[in-house]
Amino acid sequence: MRTTRRAALAGFLVALVAAPASAQTVKIGFITTLSGPQGAIGEHMKNSVELALDHLGRKVGGLDVEVIYGDDQVKPDVGKQLADEMLKKHKVHFVSGVIWSNVMLAVAPTVTGAGTFMIGTNAGPHELAGKMCHELFFTTSWQNDQTPEAMGKYMQDQNITDVYAMAPNYAAGKDMIAGVKRYFKNKIVGEVYTQLGQQDYQAEISQLRAASPKAVFVFYPGGMGIQFLKQYAQAGLRGQIPLYSVYTVDEISLPAVKEAALGQFETRYWSPDLKNEANQKYVVDYRKKYGKMPVFYGAQSYDGIMLIDAAVKAVKGDLTNKKGMIAAMRQADYKSTRGPYKYNVNHFPIENFYLLKAVQDPSGELVMQIQKTVFENHKDSYSAECPMKW
Amino acid sequence: MSINFALLLEQTLNGLQYGVMLFLMAAGLTLVFGIMNLVNLAHGSLYMVGAYLATAFTEKTGSFVLGVALALPATLLVGVVVEIVALRTLYERDHLDQVLATFGLILFFNELVAIVWGRAAIFTSVPPFLSGHFRVLPGLPYPTYRAVIILVGIAVAIMLWALVTRTRLGMRIRAGASNRTMISALGVDIRQLYTFVFGLGAALAGLAGAMAGPVYSVQPGMGEGILIQVFVVIVIGGIGSIRGAVVGAIVVGMADTLGRAFLKPLLATIISPPAADKAGPALASMSIYLLMAAVLFFRPEGLFPARGRS
């Protein structure tokens, strides 16, 4: 009792002395996509950063905070320019955010190379988890392969004998199907790559129906997913051939597809119905403030601010103590919306992955609901390639 | 290799349906390009506006048919306003200025719908009375809605054909496509004709958008994806010609659909299956551009150019 009081008094005195002397502000540069069709994701991320700051009383680690938002327009070159501007002009202490892996691969080395922290809150390209890992790089999300790995594992556990796989024809599309194959060892009867941004899938759906597989796996993020799901349902295949997916149905696309998504299976590390205190607070307050369901992109961004807060607290506001902040972040000692987790050597989370299903809740709203845990404390497949030791 | 006949027929219908959508867009674009000599990159935005307006009106009125019916004049109105406010000053400028200005319009419309309806895609669904399937042949069900798209497209093509070849207005449009200077010298108010043609093109793009809503994703920027294929259509068909737009749209729709469906299995019979896996999707996505290149090589003016153009 006495020690805590003394500590509190000491803290008070330190604050009293320190505050007027430095009046320091934590500056965070947050890069996301705020314009164009993908701007909906960035909106959720920005909202979540603001909600995190609300919950922290507009302070980070007890210091005043300023967040500078940047719109990368889904372009790596624009992302890099933003990072340069944030580092040189705004002299930020942390850069955070970044949705796209290609943007991340341009931004992260720029930021860590300048000796500044990069706190990723979505993209998890395998390069950064493996050979390019860095002590100043942390992420609150996942490595790209982990989510499809969980889906592959689930489909294998269900002993589905054959699966028809579809994805857009670009790097991530191939990675996702490779991730599924790492755990799904039964037959892949069809592996179809469609054009990136394709709108009409009727031709592929006709081929799919003719192949009559036991199940279908797809990776169709954003508008592609909305189109595919609608057309799949319109073709009368919903209810006939079960559909498993990653990053295709989420809280952003559900209101646009509604019934066409009913019964859809996804794997994910987070869901709004995860039962822990931090998550319930996040979900309830998010809905109250913004009038819609939060999505995992937001939960990761909320966590990103909380992780920074914990690090700045641990070094008592001394932003020059990078070693101290690295050590603090490695503990992941904050109330994450996914519940407690640990960091792997490459600063990627070791976390659970769940099977989610799109269902109608009692109020009639369509929501993603956790069905079961597929992986507990799942590590990514690239950490062995990371030379970092701690 | 055996290609199942029912599947081939189904894919042909798919190709036809895709071609019809392309035609609705291409008809407007080719007229605007042919008659007004205006490169309108914002044509896709009118498609998007049509989709949003139809969705909004459907929600308000509770009827899909009424929603589409209201969206048509509304998109026409948007088109007319855009023409009067923004495009009139561009006719005398060179194509680069037009590209720049209409690209600006794309950004403007994308942000406008994002402000009004939000950035996330919005919900639309096929109306219940069109949501079923009907049997084309025993064992070959086809979505009713897509069949309706085909029928509407054919009806519009016939109406446009009648308008262009059988009416005085159509005569002026054809004359405008052939020789703009001459028609204005003959005392036709070319300005009014431009506004009308642009509005008509906008309404057709709006119709395409309104019908696309329940099948595709209604979101900001939805028009850009289809616009590229539409340009391919008018280059293949011949600029300024409705007949060219019809033929070009069907050719592109078929080539794209059949390429996506059958190129990979077809290639697998010639080269090794893993190589076909790689080459199939790549070639399928190139097919319409290869076709365009071939047409440009053998008939640079397109398959059915407007008469009098060279």
CA distances from A96 to A48, A77, A252, A308, B234 (A): 13, 17, 21, 10, 45
Nearest to A40 among B120, B145, B212 (CB): B120
Q: Are residues A258 and A292 in the same domain?
A: no
B14 and chain A in contact, CB less than 8 A: yes
**Interchain CB distance below 8 Å, B215 and A204:** no
Contact status, residue B266 vs residue B1, Cβ threshold 8 Å: yes
* Residue appearing with tokens 């314009």: A35
pLDDT for the residue numbered A51: 98
Residue for token digits 């595709």? B216
Q: Which pLDDT does position B1 carry in this prediction?
A: 41
Full set of structural domains in chain B with CATH: 5-120+142-298 (1.10.3470)
pLDDT-derived band at B123 (thresholds 50, 70, 90) equals confident
Global ipTM: 0.83
- E-strand ranges in A282-327 read none
The reply to whether residue A230 touches residue B120, judged by beta carbons under 8 angstroms, is: no
The closest CB to that of B225, out of A194, A199, A230, belongs to A199
* Per-residue confidence (pLDDT) for residue B2, from 0 to 100: 47
- A147-156, A261-270, B29-38, B105-114: range with lowest mean pLDDT: B29-38
d(CA B131, CA B147): 11
Long-range contacts of B266-273 (CB under 8 A, 24+ apart): B266/B1, B269/B1
Q: What is the mean pLDDT of residues B164-184?
A: 85
pLDDT for the residue A300: 97
Confidence (pLDDT) at B3:
56
Q: What is the mean pLDDT of residues B184-194?
A: 87
Residue A306, pLDDT score: 97
Are A195 and A250 contained in the same domain? Answer: yes
Residue in chain B nearest A194 by alpha carbon: B281
Quote the pLDDT of residue A272.
95
Q: Over range B110-122, report the average pLDDT.
A: 90
- Within 8 A by CB and 6+ apart from B295, the residues are B235, B236, B302, B303
How far apart, in whole angstroms, are the C-alpha atoms of residue A156 and residue A375?
13
Structural Rg of chain A based on CA atoms = 22
- Whether B226 and A207 lie within 8 Å, measured CB to CB: no
**Are A29 and A62 members of one domain?**
yes
Indicate whether A346 belongs to any domain: no
pLDDT at position A21 is 40
Nearest to A226 among B217, B258, B261 (CB): B217
Q: Which residue of B has its CA nearest to A205?
A: B261
Lowest pLDDT segment from A53-57, A190-194, B2-6, B105-109: B2-6
* Pair A40, A132 in one domain: yes
Question: Domain count of chain A?
Answer: 2
Q: What percent of chain B has pLDDT over 70?
A: 98
Average pLDDT, chain A: 91
The nearest CA of chain A is from the CA of B12 a distance in Å of 9
Contact list, A236 vs chain B (CB under 8 Å): 133, 141, 143
Residue A4 pLDDT exceeds 60: no
Give the one of A193, A203, A230 whose C-beta lies nearest to B14's C-beta: A203
Instruction: Provide DSSP, A195-213.
Output: PTT----HHHHHHHHHH--
Structural domain includes residue A364: yes
pLDDT surpasses 70 at A143: yes
Range of the domain at A227: 146-268+353-378
- Residues A63-77, mean pLDDT to the nearest whole number: 94
Average pLDDT for residues A241-270, to the nearest whole number? 92
Q: Which of A43, A87, A61, A12 is nearest to A328 (CA)?
A: A61
In this structure, the answer to whether residues A238 and A308 fall within a common structural domain is no
**pTM, rounded to two decimals:** 0.84
Question: Which residue of A43, A45, A199 to mutate against B (max B Cβ within 10 Å)?
Answer: A199
- Which is more confident, A185 or A223? A185
CB contact at 8 A, A159 and A187: no
Q: Are residues A262 and A163 in the same domain?
A: yes
Largest CA distance in chain B: 65
Rounded CA separation B55/B279 (Å): 39
Residue A192's CATH number: 3.40.50.2300
The CB-side HSE value for B226 (13 A sphere, CA atoms) comes to 31
Shortest CA gap A190–chain B (Å): 10
Of the candidates A214, A152, A145, A138, the residue with the CA atom closest to the CA atom of residue A180: A152
- Indicate whether A256 and A115 sit together in one domain: no
Q: Looking at the structure, do residues A228 and A371 belong to the same domain, yes or no?
A: yes
Q: For A326-360, what is each residue's pLDDT tens digit? A: 999 999 999 999 999 999 999 999 999 999 999 99
**Which candidate in A202, A232, A365 is best for mutational testing of the B interface (most B CBs within 10 A)?**
A202
Do A28 and A132 belong together in one domain? yes
- B194, pLDDT greater than 50: yes
Domain contains A199? yes
pLDDT at A362 over 60: yes
Lowest mean pLDDT among A165-169, A220-224, B175-179: B175-179
- The closest CB to that of A40, out of B119, B131, B258, belongs to B119
Q: Is residue A388 part of a domain?
A: no
Residue A175 within any structural domain of the chain? yes
Average pLDDT over residues B168-181: 83
Choose from A33, A205, A226 for mutation: most chain B CBs within 10 A: A226
Q: Output the CA–CA distances (angstroms, integers) from residue A288 to A338, B221, B269, in the order listed.
A: 20, 29, 59
Q: Are residues A18 and A150 in the same domain?
A: no
Give the sign of the dihedral formed by CA B145, CA B149, CA B154, CA B158: positive
- Indicate the SS3 state at residue A60: strand
Chain A residues with CB-CB distance to B17 below 8 A: 202
Q: Do B120 and A252 touch (CB under 8 A)?
A: yes
Question: What pLDDT, on the 0 to 100 scale, is given for residue A17?
Answer: 47
At B79-96, the pLDDT tens digits run 999 999 999 888 888 889
Q: Is A386 a domain residue?
A: no
The answer to whether B213 and B57 are in contact (CB under 8 A) is no
- Residues A15, A124, single domain; the answer is yes
Q: Is A387 within a domain?
A: no
Which residues in chain A have their CB less than 8 angstroms from residue B121's CB?
Answer: 40, 223, 226, 252-253, 256
Chain A interface disruption, residue of B48, B103, B122, B123, most A CBs within 10 A: B123
For residue B262, give the chain A residue with the closest CA: A207
Q: Is B89 left (phi over 0), alpha (psi -120 to 50) or beta?
A: alpha
Highest mean pLDDT among A20-29, A259-268, B30-39: A259-268
Q: Do A207 and B261 count as a contact with CB atoms less than 8 A apart?
A: yes
Pull the structure tokens for residue B157.
Answer: 């093509």
Residue B288 near chain A (CB below 8 Å): no
The reply to whether residue A235 touches residue B143, judged by beta carbons under 8 angstroms, is yes
B242's CB contacts (< 8 A; 6+ apart) are B27, B30, B31, B157, B160, B161, B164
Q: Between β-strands A265-268 and A243-245, what pairing exists: parallel, antiparallel or unpaired?
A: parallel
Mean pLDDT of B171-198: 85
b/e sequence A175-208, b meaning 16+ C-beta within 10 Å: bbbebbbebbebebbbbbbbbebbbbbbbbbbbb
In a domain, A127, yes or no: yes
Instruction: Pick A202's closest partner by Cβ from B14, B121, B277.
Output: B14
**Contact criterion met (CB < 8 Å) for A193 and B281:** yes
- Same domain (yes/no): A222, A357: yes
**Higher per-residue confidence, A126 vs A19:** A126
